[in-house]
Structures are given as C-alpha cells and as structure tokens.
Structure 1
Amino acid sequence: MYRRTLFIFAVSLLLPFVATAASFDCQKAHSEREKYICSHPIISQMDELLSAMYQRAHQYARDPVEVKKQQLDWWHISNDDCRAGAEPARCEAAYISAIAWLKKRYYADQQPLVSQPTQALAALIKGMQFPRESELDNTSKNALAAENYQPWPRRPLLHLAKGQSVAGLTAVYKNGTLYVYYAVSSDDKGGSLYELNMASNQTRLLFHAKYWTTLGQPLQVKKGLLFFVPGGNQQELRFPQNPEPQLMIYPVGSGEKPQPMTAQQQQRYSRILDAGNSFSVNEDGPWLAIYTAPLYYPTRYDIFHNLDGFRQRYDVRKQHSASAFVLYDRDNQVVQDPHISPGSSWNISGLVMARHQPYAYFANQGAVACIWQYDINRDEVSKIVPEHDARLPAPVSIDGHDFLVFTMKNQQGLPAIYLAVRPG
C-alpha cells in the first residue's frame, strides 16, 4: 500500500494540472479498456506517463522498432489486469511495473549521452538533444518506420544568414581543440572559407573566392593539414593534363595564410587525399569509399591514380549497376559492398570515410533522405540524422568518442551547422 501511495503521489507531481490525462482522447474512447482507463483518474494519469516514456524511449533507443513491439506486447499482456470490472489496484500494479522497467532500461535522463565525459567532452555535448519525431516534417517522418534508425543527439554550432548556404564542411580535433572548417556561398558575394575554433568560439576568414562551388570539393583535413580548392574551374582537379592540381594547404589552427600545394607535398599526401564526388580515403590509407558512377571515366576524377588497382581487379560495369558505392581495402585488395543499389530511394552524396574508425558516412537525397552510417565491420547501414535536408557529414574523433559535424536547416528554415555524438 505504501508503494502504491508513494507512486500515486509521484504521478500527481508529474502531472499536477490534469484530472484525467490518458494517452488518448477520453471523449473518443471506444474499447472497453479505454473506457476503463478513463473511468479511473489515477490509472488515466499512469497511462499518460507510460505513453510519454515510451515515446521518449522510441527516440533514444538503438532499436526503435523493438521499443514499439515491447509497448504493444505489454498492452496485450496487461489486458486481463485492466479489463472492465478488474480491481483498479491490479491495473495500477501493471502500470507501476511497466514504468519501473522502462525507466531502468531506456529512460534517457538516467544515462549520460557519452560514458565518463572529460571536461572538454562535457562542454561539447552540453545542450545536445535527440531528434524529436514531433518536430520532423512529413518527408523525414515517413522515412523512419522501415529503416534502421539509430539517432545521434546533436546541437547547433552556428547559424547562417538568409541567402547563404554551406558548400563544404570538415572538422578535426587537434591539441585539445575542435576546429570546424566550412565554405559558405552567398547569392551575391561568391564564397568564403572559415575556421571556427570551438575552444575560443572565434571564427576566422581563411579564403575568399569568386567561384564558391570550388571551395567545397574537396574540402578535407588530413595529417593536421586542411586541403581545399582555391577557386576557378573544378576541371583543374578532374583532368590529368594539369600535372599540378590547384590545391591549397593550411596547417590546422596555425593562423597562417593558406599556401599552394607544392609538388613535394602532392607526392607525400596524394595517397590519402579525397577526390571530390569520386571517392574518400581514410587517413591511415588503405580504405577507400568509392562512388561507382565515376569509375566509367578512367582519366577523370582520379588525378592521383588512387583507383588504378581497383579498376584492374574488378568489373567496373558490374559494380556500377549493383551499388551506388563500394568500400575497397587496397592493401588487401578486398571489396566490401553495402548493397545500396542506385535508384529512386538512393541518391548518394557527401560520401566520406572516418579518419581512423571503420565507418563511412553519407547523405542521401532519394526517398530515404537523411545522413547514414555504414559500419564496415558489421556490414550494417543505419540512419543517424533523420532530417531529409541534412548533408555534408564530417566525422571527427574526440577523446575516443565519435562526433559528426553536418549541415541542415534550423527551426527557422535557415542554414545551420550542427554537431552530433554517437550515444553510449
């Protein structure tokens, strides 16, 4: 009796202004169980609380489909306890048991976003929230049900003005500081490349170009250096007749002026440089995430000839028809296929490898648009950012935890840059 009284008191604190607050409209109750719930104010409040907790668990869980199944299973199992004519104490006990179990297993407020965060991590994850299904538009919401949805909590880093858009995005953690590099295009001002220092929260203009499109492809950080295209025609990076591609180099966080890449630097770093709209290389070197469509052009998109070994060993035409992209371990000559077939559902962009972890990230602009992660070891594709306009994923590792910088529109419909973290 004491336990029941204490729980009822707790419910009254959580829902102090609701006389009967079932998870459904009691005026439209039609089943015997719904009518029974509405006829008992305490049970009605318990039903409201349990429903809210299940909704929250569905947001935070790694397997939302399983959460929904558990909710339906509990509803059927507890039918005898909450049927018409049943003692209210039996039904209350069923709700108490379900709430206690759900809180222990899923309730997010009882668990940190990341385990044992350092002071630097705590500052970065402060204010992060999981995506709320109620705030998604219909396009994003409709794509959730049938997919492997494993959302990452996130928060906005900065907001852009009307008429601006993010043309390129990358990030790196160096000497205890997260640096975010983003290229911004404006309707009438060309494009500008910025460095955001998260430790000082200061933004610095690194470069300005008339042709903003060339700032974003490729924009990457490897070995503590930022590489980007200075301006002009993108063909400077696509065709081998230009023996010295016009790449610029900037030491991360140095405050120096970016300089053109020398022939010696090209030779040193060519193995690990991404090629825009073609492939991405992890920083350790062996793994390439390769779009299959550009493989038809043996002299284009691959100015450093990183794909020569792949072309020699595998049927390019077959790969292109089977998958939008493949993973290639060039050291061991192994191809891994995530089986994402080109078509109306998949229109891949922003494909990028994590620098050291076995993950590839990409945005999709097809029917299941959002940002995805491909786990190489598990051979598993999962949706981590549900919004259909999210794009330009940029992975970064901080103190052993995986973060992701990306861009999408904020609640006001303006472009913004966000930071997300892998939960757990």
Structure 2
Amino acid sequence: MHTVTRLLTLPALLALALHAPVASAAGFDCSRANTILETAICNTPSLSAKDDQLNALYTPLKAQKIFRELETDWLKNVRNQCKTPECLESAYDRQIRRLTALPAPVPVASDSLAPLPKGEVYAKVEDAPWQRFALAPFIGMSEDSVAQLIDVTVKDGVLHAFVYVSGDPDGPTYVQDKHVMRATSGTLLEYADDHPGWHVIARNVRFAGWSHSGFNDQRERYAGVQDGAFYYRQRSNGELEQSMVYAVGSQQPPQPTTQGYHAGSNTVRFAKARVLEDLNVANDQLRLAYESDGNSRGYESVMAPDSSGWSLVNPTWSEHRPVLYFDNSGGMACVWRVDLVNKVLSKVVPEHEAVSARPVDINGREALVYVQENQLMFAIAPDQ
C-alpha cells in the first residue's frame, strides 16, 4: 500500500482510504480516524509506524506543558499542512527528531576559543527561528508590579522556574530611625511544568537576591538553585537578612537555614571569555577578551564599536555551551544570543518586552525562560 500511496494526491488518498480496511497500528485509534490525514496515515504502513514511534516518544512527555505546546504546534502548522505522503513522511521524521532526547553537549574549553581578527564583528541574524510560547500568566499584578525571573532548573526532566513579583501594596512595616517604614515587598513563586500554574512559596518577602538590584549587571547573586534546593535571602527589620531554603517542587514552606547561596555575577559565572566593559557604565557595545593563565590572547567586538541602540541588560552565560545571552532595553530591545564558536549574534526573542532571560536545557536542547509583560515565557532552539 505504501509504495502506491506515495504517488497519489491527498484527494486520491482519501478515496483509497475509504475503500481500504481500517488499520490499527497508528498511535491514535484508527477506528476513530475522522480526517483525511488520519485516514491516510492509518492506511500507509510506513506512516502508521512513524506515528507509533512518535506516540511512544510523546506519551511520557505529555504531562509537561512544553511538550504539549510543541506537539500542538507541530500538528497545526506542520503535519496538518501536508498535501502529499512525502510531506507527511518528512513531518513525522522532523517531530521524531524533535522529541528524541539529545545527549549533553560536549564541553568546550575556553582555551579552544579564539577572538575574531581585529576589525571584524559578529554576523547578525535578526530572525533566528526559535519557537516561543507562554507557560503561565502572572495573576493579580498591579500596575506597579514587576516580575523578575530568579533562576530555572530541570528536576527529573521537568522544568522549574522561580519568580519574584515585587510591588506588594500590603507589604510589612518596620521601624527605622523612629519612623514607621513600609517595606518594598513581594511574592516568591514557583512554576513547575508538569503542574502548570503557580505555587506561592512565600508572600510579603523583602527579597535580597543580588548585590546590585536594578543595574544592567546585578553582580553577586544570593538567590538560586543548588542541589535540588532554591535558596534566597530576605530582609526582616531594617536591613537584617535571613537565608531561606525551599525544596524544589515540594510545595512545602521554606525554612530558615545557615547555609547561604552565593554565586558570582552572571557576567562571569560559567564565562568562556571576559566581558571587557563595565555594563553598569558603558553598555552600548559588547567586547570579549580571551585569556589563558592570566595572559591575553586578544579580544573581539561582538557589535560594531560605533553602533547605536544597544543597552545590554542581564548578561548570562550558558552553563553547558560557549554562549552568552542578554536582554537589550534600547532601540534593539529583545533577547540576543552570542555564539562564541560560530561568531554569530542572533535575535532569538524579537518581542521588545522580553526581559530576564535564563538559559536551560530541555530534553538536551538549548532553551530560554524569560518574562514578557505579565507572562512567563519559553523559547527553544530549532533542531539543526
């Protein structure tokens, strides 16, 4: 049957399907096939086998919103757009690759990276084809509320994201210099992708997650995930701080702890090259210096020195790849990706409201979690 149907148009496939015995090998129930495509898949052995293979990959993942979104998008915009058996074969091959877990990326040593020749800059890609979709909206935010993505992690294959929403109008009060002060406070939230929605970790929190709040580079970090636990600092009376810990995914109350979280700036943590300028002062371009054993091996300009419209915010290195990401709040606002191997600067999230991007690996694939207006968002790199 397969060798015949490959030569037929979709209407011919339908006619053939109506006169063929119902198959049962597809991932869905062929006795309930009610579209031209489903009927064609059931009556084409190779397509039916691919559908089975895809179903076996998708079933253990479908509890997670990320994979449901990927599957829905594929069905609507790829598979269901097909008009020929060849197109269907290609569509299934593409989605099978997409859902097949990839091994961890091979580590790249900093010493193996080299700067561009003097005078050259990175190639710029304005429309990198990353898939993007919303994970969860922030409910009940006021006009003064600000959502900040603190950290992301993957536990047992499931994405968890930690967000602080500041601007709580009912924040606690404290006494300072004999005056009653209202603390700037907010709510700590956890997003778990296998239970889409928000778990409130704590309310009325005077969050102290980094040393330079509101700056382009937040410098030292005091909040993040380590060994399956989310650590953060909160202020009580005055400026007194308390370290707290929350077990990722537990939905149990956070507890005081003597163990604090302390990590370097995102600009230096996991860095494969040194960011030359102080982004809190001069942030209209990005230059990277390459060093070995304290000795300079040269530097490169990511964008042209006389370029305008750049205002780099929240530079963050990938833990597993020689890649730097940053938000841009100027005329070229968006989320950008700096690839140190291929020397390419790519716009991976084009929306101007996208901020606070944090890298994560999902099923072995490069991805980002970020905030866009009143929603937690997700972007995943295309398969190469």
TM-score w.r.t. structure 1 length? 0.49
Query: Does 2:225 align with 1:221?
Result: yes
| Aligned 1:362-377 pairs, distance under 5 A | 362-377=326-341
2:192 alignment counterpart: 197
- 8 Å Cα contact 1:114-1:423 kept in structure 2: no
1: CA distance between counterparts of 2:290 and 2:227? 21
1:279 match: 267
More helix by share: 1
Q: What one-letter code is carried by the residue in structure 1 that aligns with 2:267?
A: F
Identify the residue that residue 253 of structure 1 maps to in structure 2: 249
Give, in whole Å, the separation in 2 of the partners of 1:290 and 1:396.
Answer: 21
Q: Distance in 2 between matches of 1:342 and 1:249?
A: 46
State the secondary structure of the residue aligned to 1:387.
Answer: coil
Q: Distance in 1 between matches of 2:324 and 2:237?
A: 28
Taking a change above 3 Å as real, the CA distance of residues 214 and 201 of structure 1, as seen in their structure-2 partners, is same
- Matched residue, 2:53: none
Please point out which of 324, 335, 356 is paired with 2:286. Answer: 324
Unaligned runs of 5+ in 2: 1-7, 13-72, 74-82, 102-123, 171-184
Could you tell me how far apart the structure 2 residues matched to 1:368 and 1:151 are?
Answer: 18
| Alpha-carbon separation, structure 2, partners of 1:206 and 1:342 | 46
Change (3 A) 1:117 1:321: closer
The Cα of 1:281 is off from its aligned counterpart by 0.7
Please state if 1:160 is matched with 2:138. yes
- Does 1:417 find its partner at 2:380? no
Corresponding residue number in structure 2 for 1:171: 152
The code of the aligned residue for 2:230 comes to L
Residue of structure 2 in register with 1:150 after alignment: 128
3-state SS, counterpart of residue 234 of structure 2: coil
What amino acid maps onto 2:269 in structure 1?
A: V
Map residues 260-271 of structure 1 onto 2, 5 A cutoff.
260=257, 262=259
- C-alpha separation in 1, matches of 2:335 and 2:298: 23
Partner of 1:393: 357
Name the CA distance, whole Å, in 2 between partners of 1:260 and 1:177.
26
Matched AA of 2:254: K
Give a deviation string over 1:181-237, Cα, whole Å, max 9, x none: 111123524311111222233633223445468577544334544343424799x8x
Q: Which has the higher strand share?
A: 2
1:230 is paired with a residue whose SS is strand
Aligned in 2, Cα 1:8/1:154: closer, same or farther, shift over 3 Å?
A: closer
Using the alignment, how far apart are the partners of 1:342 and 1:223 within structure 2? 44
Separation in 2, partners of 1:113, 1:151: 19
Q: 1:5-404, aligned counterparts within 5 Å?
A: 111-112=94-95, 115-117=98-100, 147-161=125-139, 162-163=141-142, 164-186=145-167, 188-189=169-170, 190-201=185-196, 203-209=198-204, 211=206, 218=221, 219-231=223-235, 248-254=244-250, 255=252, 257-260=254-257, 262=259, 273-275=263-265, 279-282=267-270, 287=272, 290=275, 292-293=277-278, 323-324=285-286, 326=288, 337-340=300-303, 341=305, 344-404=308-368
Could you report, residue by residue, the CA deviation over 1:371-402 in whole angstroms, capped at 9, with x for unpaired residues?
A: 11111222221111111111111111123111
Say whether the 8 Å CA contact 1:250–1:259 is kept in structure 2: no
* Residue 96 (structure 1) aligns with: none
Change over 3 Å in CA distance of 1:381–1:184 after alignment to 2: same
Give 1:403 shift: 1.7
Letter of the 1:292 counterpart: E
CA spacing shift, 1:116–1:110, aligned 2, 3 Å: closer
Question: Whose RCO is larger (CA < 8 A, sep 6+)?
Answer: 2
Deviations 1:260-293 (A, max 9, x none): 554xx67xxx5xx133xx72412xxx64664722
Cα 1:198–1:351 change in 2 (3 A) is: same
SS at structure 2 position matched to 1:396: strand
| Distance in 2 (alpha carbons) for counterparts of 1:390 and 1:321 | 18
Whole-angstrom distance in 1 between the partners of 2:243 and 2:299: 30
2: CA distance, partners of 1:417 / 1:9? 42
Count how many residue pairs are aligned between Structure 1 and Structure 2. 260
**In the TM superposition, what is the alpha-carbon distance from 1:417 to its structure 2 partner?**
0.6
CA distance in 1, matches of 2:321, 2:287: 18
Answer whether contact 1:249 1:261 (CA < 8 A) is retained: no
Residues in 2 aligned to 1:198 and 1:182: alpha-carbon distance in whole angstroms: 14
Moved more, 206-215 or 146-155: 206-215
Deviation per residue, 1:18-69 (Å, 9 max, x gap): xxxxxxxxxxxxxxxxxxxxxxxxxxxxxxxxxxxxxxxxxx9xxxxxxxxx
